Structure 1
Amino acid sequence: MAEEEQQTPMADQNENDRGAEDDTPDWLEAELQDTLDEDIEIEFSEPMLSMEVRKIYREQHPDMLDRRVYFRNLLRLQAELIKVQDWVQHTGAKVCILFEGRDAAGKGGVIKRITQRLNPRVARVVALPAPSRREQSQWYFQRYVPHLPAAGEIVLFDRSWYNRAGVERVMGFATEDQVEQFFQDVPEFERMLVRSGIILLKYWFSITDEEQQLRFLMRIHDPMKQWKLSPMDLESRIRWEDYTKAKEDMLFRTNIPEAPWYIVEGNDKKRERLNCMEHILTKIPYDKVPHEKVTLPDRKYNPEYERRVLPDELYVPKIY
């Protein structure tokens, strides 16, 4: 089946399929061809699933976004994100993006596509583990502050300080007094971040009850994804309604003008990724940064230099 996917021509479409894509730049066509195998490897995450589970998933998603449309727009958006990266470095801007949502809502997939082609020295992901006993005794926001962006940085939080309003509240890891204190503090904390010059974006990824159940079942039956399931994930299924109430309360009490929430519908992963990336681009006031033309210098040759022959045992065996 993977072989069939690799043979799918992305560029060889008829005029009806392409529609408004006739003005696709030549470089984008070349990139589509060069990265086809790489992107299929990332996207094609079903080969370990049984045919029955795969059939059920496809039946539940009859209107999934066409793969060719998805890849074209993904590459276009990633090219724009590189312009954002250049602008952030050039201007010293500070960008902080929070990704929140239920387990299996697709946050990790969105983050992976956003950062896929960016410089990891500029754009970094923060995914903090459960707090240590020492961190539990600190001011709640203290462990997040060191990870905030400095000038010229983009930071993406894969879950953030909103853990207190979600998992900690629902699972009883925080008292009601602690949760109430969080709701009192977080608006002013975020206003301070915005006043300091940070562009703060907050996204909630929304999926239905049925979609989460289906994705959990897929993880159970897929050996490549079973590591994603934790006892906490399974407990979240039991407490779906508790999480819903907590989410609604969180959105209501922390949706401030300086840092509003944006909800991304996530039942279709491809649309979820593209829609979120498009929206991020509208919320960052970037401009194209001019670059000097890069010229490859000539290599210097030393006629007296002889390359040493290295022993065979230093080389990785050529199995393929």
Structure 2
Amino acid sequence: MGKRLDRTLYETELLRLQAELVKLQEWVRAEKARVAIVFEGRDAAGKGGAIKRVTEFLNPRVARIAALPAPSERERSQWYFQRYIAQLPAAGEIVLFDRSWYNRAGVERVMGFCTPDEYHRFLHQCPIFERLLVEDGLLLRKYWFSVSDDEQEKRFHDRLDDPMRRWKLSPMDAESITRWEDYSRAKDEMLVHTDIPEARWMTVESDDKRRARINMIAHLLSSIPYHDVKLPELKLPKRPPSTGYQRPPKDTQNYVPDHASTLH
């Protein structure tokens, strides 16, 4: 990994790439394509930050984030992939999975939240499931954000000391420090079974968050054959003459207090 990417270079290139993401969005909408992007990796590896930069200028009706909570009792009794299927994109949509069905190969495997039989069934079924999705025309991209143990621990300490980000740190995150090698083995086994030609895993080195975001977005754009879509011409009409409407007196409505005027 090279030195930390310069902020000015980062911001300039990020804005350029985000403009391309808007073009990709319009292509997805026009071509009625279906795009699913899986973001996986260790805790504090930078998945959330990358997702924010991808979606920052996109239409939330086209590009949405799927970040599912722990399954309910009813969901636990379903076929494992069932609740994720409900989140897959329809025509003209992009879905970004902030963690995905790969929970079973990572957290559930390491923490003992699934049985060995459930785990091995997942490794068998997952490639079949993904091949079916791709065969049906869905564009599936999978990114693994890789962070070093030193950098992860530093980010955990930063979160612990920052009241604005303290919510990001959970007891499960803390335990991942002591289970570093267990997660490493689980990740290696997952890649062996699920890195298939139809849906490759792409590793994103993420000790430098700026570099990781730029590299991930650039790869995503290069992997989809989108093109500029001509948008319909739009002209703003002239405002018609008044017909006598008068706004009701302000004292008949409730206004938020002018907190801004108290700032000095």
Q: Does 1:238 align with 2:173?
A: no
Structure 2 counterpart of 1:132, one-letter code: S
Q: Does 1:171 align with 2:131?
A: no
Structure 2 residue runs of 5 or longer lacking an equivalent are none
> Secondary structure at the residue paired with 1:311?
helix
> Secondary structure at the residue paired with 1:274?
helix
Structure 2 counterpart of 1:183, one-letter code: L
Alpha-carbon distance in structure 1 between the residues aligned to 2:49 and 2:252 = 41
The equivalent residue for 2:73 is: 133
Alpha-carbon distance in structure 1 between the residues aligned to 2:213 and 2:76 = 34
Superposition TM-score, scaled by structure 2 size: 0.96
| Matched length | 260
User: Which of 86, 95, 99 does residue 26 from structure 2 map onto?
Assistant: 86
User: Which of 120, 123, 138 does residue 198 from structure 1 map onto?
Assistant: 138
The equivalent residue for 1:109 is: 49
> Secondary structure at the residue paired with 1:124?
strand
Q: Does 1:292 align with 2:228?
A: no
Alpha-carbon distance in structure 2 between the residues aligned to 1:62 and 1:196 = 39
- 1:115-134 deviation line (CA, Å, top 9, x unaligned): 00000000000000011111
Q: Does 1:121 align with 2:61?
A: yes
Query: Segments of 4+ in structure 1 off by > 6 A?
Result: none
Alpha-carbon distance in structure 2 between the residues aligned to 1:202 and 1:80 = 19
Q: Relative contact order, CA 8 A, sep 6+: which one is greater?
A: 2
> Secondary structure at the residue paired with 1:111?
helix
Structure 1 residue runs of 5 or longer lacking an equivalent are 1-60
The range that moved more, 300-309 or 279-288, is: 300-309
User: Which of 252, 259, 262 does residue 199 from structure 2 map onto?
Assistant: 259
Alpha-carbon distance in structure 2 between the residues aligned to 1:220 and 1:303 = 60
Instruction: Give 1:293 deviation, angstroms.
Output: 2.5
Q: Does 1:142 align with 2:82?
A: yes
Coordinate RMSD, CA, aligned: 1.3
User: Which of 195, 207, 210 does residue 270 from structure 1 map onto?
Assistant: 210
Alpha-carbon distance in structure 1 between the residues aligned to 2:243 and 2:222 = 55
The equivalent residue for 2:241 is: 301
Instruction: Give 1:82 deviation, angstroms.
Output: 0.4
Alpha-carbon distance in structure 2 between the residues aligned to 1:229 and 1:192 = 36
Structure 2 counterpart of 1:64, one-letter code: R
- 1:253-312 deviation line (CA, Å, top 9, x unaligned): 100000010000000000111110000001111010012332111111224222222227
> Secondary structure at the residue paired with 1:286?
coil
Structure 2 counterpart of 1:165, one-letter code: A
User: Which of 159, 164, 169 does residue 219 from structure 1 map onto?
Assistant: 159
Q: Summarize the Cα distance change of 1:272–1:184 in structure 2 as closer, same or farther, 3 Å threshold.
A: same
> Secondary structure at the residue paired with 2:23?
helix
Q: Once the two structures are aligned, what percentage of the paired residues are identical?
A: 59
Alpha-carbon distance in structure 2 between the residues aligned to 1:87 and 1:216 = 39
User: Which of 247, 258, 262 does residue 318 from structure 1 map onto?
Assistant: 258
Alpha-carbon distance in structure 2 between the residues aligned to 1:313 and 1:288 = 46
Alpha-carbon distance in structure 2 between the residues aligned to 1:225 and 1:319 = 25
- 1:164-183 deviation line (CA, Å, top 9, x unaligned): 00000000001111110001
Alpha-carbon distance in structure 2 between the residues aligned to 1:313 and 1:319 = 18
Alpha-carbon distance in structure 2 between the residues aligned to 1:124 and 1:303 = 42
Q: How does 1:40-119 map to 2 (within 5 A)?
A: 63-119=3-59
Alpha-carbon distance in structure 2 between the residues aligned to 1:74 and 1:155 = 20
